Structure 1
Amino acid sequence: MEEDGLLCPPINQVAGHYAEGGNIGPLIDKAGRFYKPLQNNQRGQHEVEFYEKFWADQTIPPIVQDLFPRFYGTRSVQASDETGMCEYAVIEDLTYHFHHPSVIDIKMGSRTWYPGATEEYIKKCLDKDGQSTSALLGFRLSGLQVYEIATKATWKPGKEWCNALSTEEVRLALKRFVSTNPFSETDPDGSLASFVYGEPGGVLSQLLELKSWFEEQTCFHFSSASILLIYEGDSKSTIQNSPRSGVSVKLVDFAHVINGQNIIDHNFLGGLCSLIKVISQTTADLGKKLPEEPPLTT
């Protein structure tokens, strides 16, 4: 484990809580671990309890576990604002193996509030869901960055840009995410769609694996969780340094996971099916071959 003095803010974070406005932000070390500050009102402890339960459940197939960050427990370290010690959940740094990661954070579900939330919180979520594409598509883009190898620059629009996207603009953003010219607002080439979305082990294959599990699992309901899509933006380092052929799909943010009570999580599953449909349409429109759907997970 790295010494506390070598912890630093993550440069590849595209959404979530940042170290700004008095907030304590996440940190990373040089050993591939991500330190997420435990949120107030028991949210952080709730997320830790989910990780502990999930990784102790031997009924969850390894192919599904691969779609979740590894969990390394909790640790008290100097807070990101250097005001004192803070308790952090220590999880896998999902961009660690990538030299120039292109990343997109997708908030899942048409409803992002959780049962038992306060009226104020529910109203806040309803407003966000209605003003974004959550209510219409069952998901919304929370943040992204795309590395452009020709210019060695990274296109990274802000939260406000992502929140204001219409359904058609979301489709265009998903095309820009797999383009070698992501800075183009009107004519992104989408030339990486086959590698990132359509190839075996690519985004669609992994999302279909996740869908297969969600069609059966009734242990958890994932309110306000996100899916991260990551691939190596520098093609010269893809095979050597990146897992799963250079493309990674991970489910993150578990502060509001609740007991499934033997009921399928239709809110998350509906958003997941919609995301698969939109990415499949984008891939097909670009003339790329789509992967076959796997059999149900056993």
Structure 2
Amino acid sequence: MPKNPFDASTLQTFGNAAAGHDGVLSDSSGAVVVKPCTPAEIAFYESVTAEHKELAPHLPTYMGQLSLSSGSAPEAEADSGTIQTATGVERLHGKKLATELHIVLENITHGFKNPNVLDLKLGAQLWDDAAKPEKRARLDAVSNATTSGSLGFRIAGMRTWKGEAAPEVESGLKDFVESSGGYFVFNKMYGRKFSADDVTEGFEAYIFPGEKSQAELERAREVLAFFLGEVKDIQSVFENKESRMYSASILLVYEGDLDEYTKTKKALATHRHSEEDEDEDEDLPKLAAVKMIDFAHATWQPGNGPDENALKGMRSTAKILKDLLDQTEKQLEE
């Protein structure tokens, strides 16, 4: 990390193999992202730090805010409420936000060699009380036509590592998937094609990007068990909070390179059992991560009870993960 990683002179336009990143910046280490934001998102993160510390482990680490003039850093425009972070995942676009206000957050995908990323946008209602009638109507139409309405979430974007010699995209997926830099990058329309009856296919494409070999099944079992535990933990915390989070997402990440996954697993096991002095801040590789993101439309609402709009999506996600875990364990036993 540079001595002053958030100085405009050290920042650069964030870029990876997944998608465009209008207005999103990173430091030279790649450990943080700096993105345009609304005052509401800053307020939400600061309130978590001050008053809701039990939520902090489930969010990207908040590192403060910056004011960057349009001339001091590349592209200061982004999409309000649906800003693309370091995930490289395309999400539903809102109006353009031209602002000098930026939030500095942990890059969730830092520590992975080739991260597989799944972005699940929560809620059947995707707009907040400030939304104009035409925006409400547009987002309601999206919700009603997708799993947002039926399950309380939809796949907003996804990318999976296919290897340096990535195969060609199947003809039936060419409207939804682009092959880029060894990844399959699934656009925002991919998740909109699913119904409650077949959305599991999207999860399977994420968890099993290659053939279901023994090694892939074993990784899937470990990753699914971790994802399920984390999602249920997030659900449990928010069941005890009185909040409203419109267009927030759950981000699921795991190491997409199977050889790297195995290597990292061994390295972490060795580290845990080492008797050497351990530094909690040591930059260790990662196997998987789950975080809540996108809080441009998040508020605390004491007296109004838990956010059932978002919780419905969490519960649906947990059920799908549990079903896939059960199926994977059954396949491993056969």
- TM superposition score category, shorter chain reference: 0.7 to 0.9
State the Cα distance separating 1:193 from its structure 2 match: 2.2
Identity %: 25
TM (norm. structure 1) is: 0.79
Q: Which one of 290, 298, 302 corresponds to residue 249 of structure 1? A: 290
What does 1:193-232 align with in structure 2 at a 5 Å threshold? 193-198=220-225, 202-218=226-242, 220-232=243-255
| Amino acid in structure 1 at the alignment position of 2:255 | E
Q: Which one of 66, 70, 81 corresponds to residue 75 of structure 1? A: 66
Aligned position for 1:192: 219
Classify 1:138/1:49 alpha carbon distance in 2 versus 1 (closer, same or farther; 3 Å). same
Q: Partners in 2 of 1:252 and 1:226 — Cα distance? A: 5
Q: Is the 8 A contact 1:149 1:180 kept in 2?
A: no
Aligned position for 2:117: 103
- Give the secondary-structure state (helix, strand or coil) at the position aligned to 1:177: helix
Q: Is the 8 A contact 1:103 1:228 kept in 2?
A: yes
CA shift digits 1:91-139 (9 cap, x unpaired): 1111111111000100001111112322122112101111221001110
Q: Partners in 2 of 1:111 and 1:288 — Cα distance? A: 36
Aligned position for 2:107: 93
| Amino acid in structure 2 at the alignment position of 1:60 | K
Q: Partners in 1 of 2:295 and 2:248 — Cα distance? A: 6
State the Cα distance separating 1:180 from its structure 2 match: 4.3
Aligned position for 1:279: 321
| Amino acid in structure 1 at the alignment position of 2:313 | G
Q: Is the 8 A contact 1:12 1:101 kept in 2?
A: no
- Give the secondary-structure state (helix, strand or coil) at the position aligned to 2:102: strand
State the Cα distance separating 1:269 from its structure 2 match: 1.0
State the Cα distance separating 1:11 from its structure 2 match: 1.6
CA shift digits 1:140-163 (9 cap, x unpaired): 001011113584621112222232
Structure 1 gaps of 5+ residues are 39-43, 290-298
Higher Cα Rg, which structure: 2
| Amino acid in structure 2 at the alignment position of 1:50 | F
Aligned position for 1:175: 204
Q: Does 1:9 align with 2:14?
A: yes
**RMSD value, Cα:** 2.7
State the Cα distance separating 1:5 from its structure 2 match: 4.8
Aligned position for 2:184: 155
What does 1:133-148 align with in structure 2 at a 5 Å threshold? 133-148=147-162
Aligned position for 1:296: none
State the Cα distance separating 1:82 from its structure 2 match: 7.8
Q: Is the 8 A contact 2:157 2:186 kept in 1?
A: yes
Give the number of aligned pairs.
Answer: 263
What does 1:37-48 align with in structure 2 at a 5 Å threshold? 37-38=36-37, 44-48=38-42
Classify 1:86/1:12 alpha carbon distance in 2 versus 1 (closer, same or farther; 3 Å). farther
- Give the secondary-structure state (helix, strand or coil) at the position aligned to 2:208: coil
Q: Is the 8 A contact 2:18 2:183 kept in 1?
A: no
Q: Partners in 2 of 1:26 and 1:54 — Cα distance? A: 23
Aligned position for 1:56: 50
- Give the secondary-structure state (helix, strand or coil) at the position aligned to 2:210: coil
Q: Is the 8 A contact 1:12 1:95 kept in 2?
A: no
TM (norm. structure 2) is: 0.71
CA shift digits 1:178-214 (9 cap, x unpaired): 11418x9xxxx7663202112xxx1001111111112
Aligned position for 1:264: 306
| Amino acid in structure 2 at the alignment position of 1:251 | M
Q: Is the 8 A contact 2:120 2:154 kept in 1?
A: yes
Structure 2 gaps of 5+ residues are 78-97, 167-181, 268-283
CA shift digits 1:244-267 (9 cap, x unpaired): xx1100000001012222311111
State the Cα distance separating 1:215 from its structure 2 match: 1.9
| Amino acid in structure 2 at the alignment position of 1:284 | D
Q: Partners in 2 of 1:242 and 1:195 — Cα distance? A: 16
Q: Is the 8 A contact 1:179 1:192 kept in 2?
A: no
